[in-house]
Amino acid sequence: MTAGSNPKTDMPPAYDPGAVEEKWYGYWEENKFFHARVDPEKEPFCIVMPPPNVTGQLHMGHALDNTLQDILTRWRRMQGYNALWLPGTDHAGIATQAKVEEQLAKEGRSKYELGRDKFLERVWQWKEQYGGRITHQLRKLGSSCDWDRERFTMDRGCSQAVLEVFVRLYEKGLIYRDYYITNWCPKCHTTISDIEVEHLDKPGHFYFIKYPVKDSDEFLAIATTRPETMLGDVAVAVHPDDRRYAHLVGKTLILPVADREIPVIADEYVDPEFGTGAVKITPAHDPNDFEVGQRHSLPQLQVINRDAVMTEEAGRYRGLDRWECRRQLVKELDARGYLIKVDDHNHAVGHCYRCSTVIEPMLSKQWFVRMKPLAEPAIQAAKDGQVRFVPERFTKIYLNWMENIRDWCISRQLWWGHRIPVWYCADCGEVIVTKTPPDKCVKCGGTGLEQDPDVLDTWFSSGLWPFSTLGWPDKTVELAHYYPTSVLVTGRDIIFFWVARMIFSGLAFMDQVPFREVFIHGLVLDALGRKMSKSLGNGVDPIDVIESHGADSLRFMLVTGNTPGNDLRFHFERLDGARNFANKIWNASRFTIMNLSDFTPGPEPRGEVLTLADRWIRSRFQEVAEEVTRNLDRYELGEAARILYEFTWNEFCDWYIELAKPRLYGRDRDDRYTAQYILADTLRGTLELLHPFMPFITEDIWQRLPHRGQTVMKAPWPVPVEEYRDIPAEEQMDVLMEIIRAVRHIRSEMNVPPGKKADIVLLVIDNGTRSLVEKWVGYVETLTAGRVTIVPSLAEAPEQAAHAVTRAAEIYVPLKGLIDIDRESARLAKEVSVLDRDLAKIRGKLSNEGFLSKAPEDVVEKERAKEAELSGKKKAIEDRLKMLGR
């Protein structure tokens, strides 16, 4: 027990999360308890927060992710690590620009009217006004981030890091510019990367179209899901080994409607088993076709523009929206006899992850990162254990993606973001890549320089997050102390977006992995197992939950039952259960503290002054502290929370407090002091174990107990004391608790009124066990409202007595005088009658061959399960009737 002032006993009767949470978060932040200073004498622990979008607001995924990070950070801080949880936000290029453009549209203006510089000023204003919303909400969750070190992907330091990385990669030949097919969003008007495309299954069609062979009655049948792109066809490909079409390779086809001549080519890309085995080749509108076109030196005909409108190359269909073009073109194909058939076909359609518009594969000149040289060391780092994924199964997913990685398109057609540090000389065409704007051309000396208008993909800057936030490219003391960081906590849906980019970037620029472990958690789903989304309207706002149930309840609900890598279903019943747990802690603590008004910690009670219950609860606490720590080490945070829940609710509140009451209310001062000491010490330790999970309520109660220090979050993490482990005490208590549970069960089953004292006969044959029960028989009497008689033998069982057997004793509870036996017997007989009637109905169904043959199997199984349940109930009631002698 730590020393300190007398406990504060003025606890309100009911727990008010709102008042407690606001008070203590302000206290923590004012006193800089979250702030980490570099200390070479301390072992570092560092987590960098996955930066939420500056446009964002807290959703359940954020709440889970940040709760897990906070638990780990608070735990390590209490263990004495130099713990830094580094927060920040991402500039979110597409989303943020869209927000400001929406504002301008409401004013009847556009970004083009403002011009680039004025538009960017407007975006910075928006960021300053609204960008702090999510960090404010993270505070309400209880996040113990070092807000003094908060970063932003476009702050000066992170921007310097981006320029440094771009220039270095360019100089190594790992950044290049070229024409290629990229994913274009016609609404956001920018390219997006492959991993930012959401592929959604949509109902569509397969259109089978005749492509006539020139100067012949023969034709090739083509199957396509996108007939509008056929206007840009430049060839039809077949597999070299496909005998059906071997005679056509090298011949010419007439492209329907467009009436252009196109060749038949042979290429191994074609799958002879898919569709008709002949594939239309449109190099400007499909990435695979683009590669086929490169191999065969085919032209690139662009028939859809950046607004998803048909171009001049589309002939008379120019100016039409792509979907209207499809409708009219199919109609013409049918009218002219080219349409063979149309089959229904569900297929995955790519959508922009920001605005849900169907993306358009688009040929354009973009900047790319050459990925193979960067991916190889990142692959090896996972294989040789430099980076460990938890759960381990995600290693395979990571390796599969990295081993099949394509070059990364990093340019985006936006104004908000890190502008590409490339200038073009209008006089000689020189390309100048530099961190600082050049005054003149390095080749010809001309001053007609123009910077590339594009900005970098948002993931380019967030991929540098673990070291740019610590000061790189400068050699800061923070970078030396905290890098590599300890663990990354992130959802299973972001491995490719972010984790992989950080790993290869860290290895390329720091020669070390950015983190030792990656703790992957699942998604928060609704009660039906669906992803929460605006379109489904099934989202739950964490701030609403915090206001109704408290942050601690939300945090505890999110972590209990959670296992690494697995999804979690949100149930309000579980949330209510977490709130009930918080109330249980409050009420038990209030009882304890009210009974500490005359208590000042002094010498630790030892030896004979300790009761069996004292030794038992102290021993159990040591095991709980060990188990919780072990599970936190393994990232089994849900299991750690479950162990704490069971110990706090059942063993401490329901058992120890009840067993301590007689001594707290008694006149023996020494007994009272011992009970107070063990009660306060165990409660304080339990609060310290619970603190990472439920920071607010634990701080409030801990401050009311005798303690040292300013805050529970800086209290030493409880370490098991071997001296306090007492296995015999635990085994002896198990014997008594089993007897108490059995008596309580009898009272419940027999409807014995709570206030009535029961006579209890315990037949205990073993001498040692009998001595134990005799010594601590007061526990049984206190917790069963009974008068106990302990006997070594019985000539005959008491009449009309309920009976139970435990490992240590036979238990008899004579019921005469406790209950009205006739009335109880009549009630039970009536229950048997009702059960017989219900069973007759069910058995009638189950013996009916018509029902068994026609009813669905699951319906039949439900009836059989119901029969088994009712039969079990009937037997239990008949057993009770036998106890009553009926």
Residue 280 dihedral angles phi and psi, to the nearest 5°: -70, 140
| 711 exposure class (CB count in 10 Å sphere: 0-12, 13-18, 19+) | middle
Buried b (16+ CB within 10 A) or exposed e, 605-629: beeeebbbbbbbbbbbbbbbbebbb
Residues 6+ away with beta carbon under 8 Å from 484: 466, 506, 510, 512, 513, 514, 515, 516
The total number of residues shown for the chain amounts to: 886
Q: Are strands 360-369 and 801-805 parallel, antiparallel or unpaired?
A: unpaired
440 annotated ligand-binding residue = no
Identify which of 829, 820, 830 has the alpha carbon closest to the alpha carbon of residue 800: 820
From CA 779, how far away is CA 617, in angstroms rounded?
A: 14
Catalogue the long-range contacts made by 30-36 (C-beta closer than 8 Å, 24 or more residues apart): 31/710, 31/711, 32/148, 33/144, 33/710, 33/711, 33/713, 33/714, 34/85, 34/144, 34/145, 34/146, 34/147, 34/148, 35/146, 35/148, 35/149, 36/82, 36/83, 36/84, 36/146, 36/149
DSSP string computed for 278-325: EEEE-TTS-HHHHHHHHHHT------B-TTSBB-GGGGGGTT-BHHHH
What is the Cβ-side half-sphere exposure of residue 405, based on CA atoms within 13 angstroms? 25
CB 462 within 8 A of CB 499: no
Residue from 711, 517, 716 nearest 26 by CA: 711
Name the nearest CA neighbour of 265 among 292, 300, 285: 292
Check residue 652 and report its DSSP letter.
Answer: I
Q: Whose CA is closest to 275, among 236, 248, 232?
A: 236
Name 83's bridge partners: 45
Residue 701 CA, chain-centre distance (Å), reads 29
Q: Which two structure tokens, joined as six digits, stand for 136?
A: 């404010």
* Helix, strand, coil tally for the chain in percent (to 5): 50, 20, 35
308: left (phi over 0), alpha (psi -120 to 50) or beta: left
Helices (H), 385-476: 393-403, 458-462, 465-468
Q: How big is the CA angle at 801 (ends 797 and 804), to the nearest 5 degrees?
A: 85
Q: Which residues, listed in sequence order, are joined to residue 588 by a DSSP beta bridge? A: none
Token digits of residue 496: 């490719």
For residue 654, which amino acid is it? Answer: D
Instruction: Name residues whose C-beta falls within 8 Å of residue 516's C-beta, 6 or more positions apart in sequence.
Output: 386, 387, 388, 484, 485, 486, 487
For CA atoms 186, 190, 191, 196, give the dihedral sign: negative
Cβ atoms 542, 554 nearer than 8 A: yes
Tokens found for residue 420: 């590409």
SS3 annotation, 562-627:
CCCCCCEECCHHHHHHHHHHHHHHHHHHHHHHHCCCCCCCCCCCCHHHCCHHHHHHHHHHHHHHHH
Structure tokens at 676: 């107070």
Q: Which two tokens stand for residue 780?
A: 């049984």
Rounded Cα gap, residues 724 and 619, in angstroms:
5
How far apart CA 219 and CA 116 sit, in angstroms, is: 53
Q: How far apart are CA 402 and CA 496, in angstroms?
A: 9
- Amino acid letter, residue 387: V
Residue set of the binding site:
534
Residue set of the binding site for ATP:
534
